[in-house]
Structure 1
Amino acid sequence: MTNILLSVDLKTLILLTVLNFLINGIFLLFVFGIRHRSFIQWLAYGCFLFALGWLFFLYRFVNGINLITLPLANVLILAMPIFLGFSIDSFLGKRRSKIILGVIAFVLLFTFLFLSWIMHDKWIPGMYTSIINGIFYSIPGIYMLKFATPKNIIVWAIIGLNFLISLLLIVRSFILLLGWLYPDTINETIVMGILVGVLCLNIICINAQVLCFPILDFTEAQKELILANRKLEDLSNIDDLTGLPNRRALRVKLDQEAAYHAENNLPFSIILFDLDHFKLINDKFGHLVGDSVLKNAASLLKQLVRPSDLVMRYGGEEFMVLLPETESSEAFIVAERLRLGISQFQFSYSDPSVAFQVTASFGVSTLNANLLNVTELVRRADIALYRAKTEGRNRVCIE
């Protein structure tokens, strides 16, 4: 393994690193142009600065060690884990405090000044930059480990990659420390081999993260799409005026309940009712008052029915209540409770002078061994409702 690392040409590797991260940055900006997620943009900026830092480092082979090829190059390389941290903060919806930003600015300034002072030392610049980079790469991993929920395989990959980079850099710093303490044990060739090895693994780990973030964004987009579809489905099944399930949802639920009760030989009843003389309310007080009556009636119904019952809007001023495992006699009692509750309720609108009482007529039918057809069940409830109206309204009839 050591021979392979030593055989790699460092200048070629650095040049490939520069090109690689320029491509990564362009790719991420392309993704940002589609998704407009700021965490992708932060990561793109980190790639560009990382590439620029290694480009300045490469200039060392032409112009030697100076302020650009060592202090400035390492500050730009250090920007990669910093911007990676900003990217993760943005993804998690967190903002770094001014104190933390101040600490980061101080570390960057101190790094530049310190490396400017000892840039010609053989061991200290490498030890220092490895420690600082190792610490800064561990921070995104810690943030993801602490705050990212839920943790899928992509999140765990990002956490693991950051900790792996951090560990590699700290190991490199430890080896350089041994070289500083025992200079006869580690020569320049080994130092270059370590640099090549760490750089290769660093490239692999960061490249993997560059791929992980768009995949993570894609999975988040999928979740958002699923939630949006669920909301649309809910909206399509909910009456926007009363907040009750609408006729579309009613048909599905009615078929499901009827099939279940028929299969298990259980009674199942429905109550179909409408508000008496509702057209007169609209004509006398206006449609806004009529809408208010429907909303108040829906709210009242949900309070009056049993926990197992389901209130749904059938259409216009008509409502239906599904009563699982309920015989006709018990359904009659529920309907009578609803009738009394509505007739005794004082309906009002924003204008205190507009206050009145409303009655309703009810039709009840029951699914049992003698009646297994849903269409016939609804038809019989409708017949019972019609009879309640013709017999004087404000009453319950069973068919």
Structure 2
Amino acid sequence: MSKVEKSKRKQLSEIVSVVKLSSLLFVGIIVCKYIFTDGRIAPNSAVAYYTIMSIILPIFVLVLIYFMWTFSSKSKMKNKYGNLISNIETVAFIIIFTVVIFVCGAYESEYKFLYLFIIITTTIESGMKKGVIVSFISSIIILAMDLIMVPGDINVYFENDLILAGIFVLTAWPLGFYVKIESEHIKQLEDQVNIDGLTGVYNHRYFHDELRKKIMQGKMDHKPVSMIFIDIDYFKHYNDLYGHQKGDTILREMATVIKENVDLDNIVARYGGEEFAIILPNTREDIAMRIAENLRAKIESTYFEGEENQPNGKITASFGISVFPDKAKDDMDLIKSADDALYRAKFFNKNRVEAYTSILDDIKQNISDEKDIELVASIKTLISVINAKDRYTYGHVERVVIYSRLLADQLKLSEKEKATLIYGAYMHDIGKINIAKDILVKKMKLTNDEWGELKQHPNNGVEIIKPVESLKDVIPLIQFHHERFDGKGYPHNLKGEDIPYLARVLTVVDSFDAMTSNRPYNKRKTYEEGVEELRKCSGAQFDPDIVEAFIKVITSKTGQICIGKIEAGSEAAVDSISTLTYDEYNLKL
């Protein structure tokens, strides 16, 4: 519910409550008038005093209690119990008015108009349907009094009350229509504010508002909240080919497909450009994965005009998934992690579903020191910042991790050494956070000063992770992965076996991917040329034994498949550098 609607409801609730309170005061006045007229009680007698006190005080206390209830806890209770409170309230007022009317003359009573109070308030509060129902009940009560208490021919009271019954109904009906029209008008205004004008789904602002609410509700109810990010593959290519008007048509059709294939309680929004987001309350990650995979297949099988000219011959989409609280601590963390998962899906050949995962999350599970956990979370954020600054670094790190896993098995490293190598591969470029984006993405050859700045990233990386005791074994990999076997590397000119073994392993993997990837300032080599370069530099830049082991693993059957997959992707757009999937090689981050 929007702030505008909440404000409107609050104002209406206060108006309705004031009317109800006023009606109770009228009831008190009517009761007092009835008691002290026609000589029932002498005004100046002691009996009168005690009678007044016995009547007025309870009424005053009841009105005070109702006042406090109305303007304090009522709204909270209504949020929890819905219409039940409102229905009980309405029935209570009808009973009170009926008793007062019956005591004050029944069919002869001049206070039958009291029902108008509850008819008006119910109609304003709950709409025309309930207002008409209350008006019919009120009409039946007053007409029943006439028929039961004055049997025989139709009497003048019945005729007058028949007119009054008509007034009751006519009060509820037009007022109900007005309330309905007003609500529809407000809904239209809200739609203009909350709905994306192009696609008809919710917009970016509404998405953020609802995500915060769903996360808060999930915290209170201890229920998960999943989120799916969707990005149309090669959408820029489609726009360049057909123009933005055709592109807008694809966006509208894509929004329709998404809306038609998710549950009504899921919130579909256009996050921006060609990105959509889905909020799935009370949904586990495995269910969200299944929903996303079904949606991916549906999009792939749906025909979109002009899709045959797309790079893969179809209009497809990539999906990133994360879930609160398992993989995110709040709404912004959920967005960031889902976006990271989407980035991974785009990176691995597009048209796929990826759930968020992070090596650093695995590290945090094995850390008991709360301070270290916070530091690792900060490192995780820094890596995300680097990925955003330099898309090459993201793809490079992903591939280095894959190669490191393959080489670790070939070298028969222990589980501890393997984990250290993988963590080092994942974080070896974290020091680039301090390098200017202009240098990281520069397309021309770097100047000496720029190279000097770039060479500082190993030491910068060490300073970042040094405070984390659990990552102390990773420090040598980050600090020495640019050292050379012949002692001509940087930053410390270490030589031969003075360079830690795992750092030498990482150097081979890191250099091979660097030379076989498109970089802003360096033309990529083919994988055959990369192998030849490794052999050429063996004993000079690289440890010869590690070079031979790496060449052996990448020229094996599994390695050839791996190379073929990566090479096929490297010729594509920059956000599709690799198509290797972890599942194919049982490689899980």
Structure with more relative contact order (C-alpha pairs < 8 Å, separation 6 or more): 1
> Could you tell me the TM-score, scaled by structure 2's length?
0.31
Return the structure number with greater strand share.
1
> Could you tell me the TM-score, scaled by structure 1's length?
0.44
